[in-house]
Amino acid sequence: MSHDIAENVFRFRISPRWGDLDAMNHVNNATYLRYLEEARIQWLNAQDTAWFDGERAPVLASATVNYRLPIEYPSEIDIELFATRIGTSSLTIGHRMVDAANARLHCDGQVVVVWIDRKTGKPAPLPDSIRSAAERIASPD
């Protein structure tokens, strides 16, 4: 697994495992969400700051995955993340999964992540460091 940030996109490479496959020998559709989660965690961990603490933490508010082509085994997949909206307490992260060898699009979509106050469960302001990190991968409009 590797990652890089270039052209306002965070890229994370993953190789599907045998256990990720369904009966049709494709990566199971639910596994796409796990891959996207791993890419988001890798992006957050790549920041030189804590992205959660005893008071605030991110939670997934919504997820949209548009399945375009099955992912076959073996392969290497580049997951691309980019910020499409930076709000007061939420962050909309667009995503694409593309084949590392030929750039074929396997899926695209977006997720909304909301930082919450861990005691109340109510929205909390985005940490300044996460806001800055999201600005570095913001898609140009």
Any idea where the domains of the chain sit in the sequence?
2-136
Q: What superfamily would CATH give domain 2-136?
A: Hotdog Thioesterase (3.10.129.10)
pTM value? Answer: 0.92
Distance from C-alpha of 124 to C-alpha of 39, rounded to nearest angstrom:
23
Going by C-alpha positions, the residue among 49, 35, 51 that lies closest to residue 3 is 35
pLDDT digits 0-9 by tens, 22-75: 999 999 999 999 999 999 999 999 998 888 888 999 999 999 999 999 999 999
Distance of CA 129 to the CA centre of its chain: 17
Q: In the numeric block, which tokens belong to residue 116?
A: 């919450």
CB 115 within 8 A of CB 57: yes
pLDDT digits 0-9 by tens, 83-121: 999 999 999 999 999 999 999 999 999 999 999 999 999
Which secondary structure element, helix H or strand E, spans residue 83, and what is its range?
strand 77-86
Q: How confident is the model at residue 141 (pLDDT cuts 50, 70, 90)?
A: low
Other residues' Cβ atoms within 10 Å of the Cβ of residue 28: 17
Sequence-ordered list of residues with C-beta below 8 angstroms from that of 1, at least 6 positions apart, any chain = 12, 13, 14, 15, 42
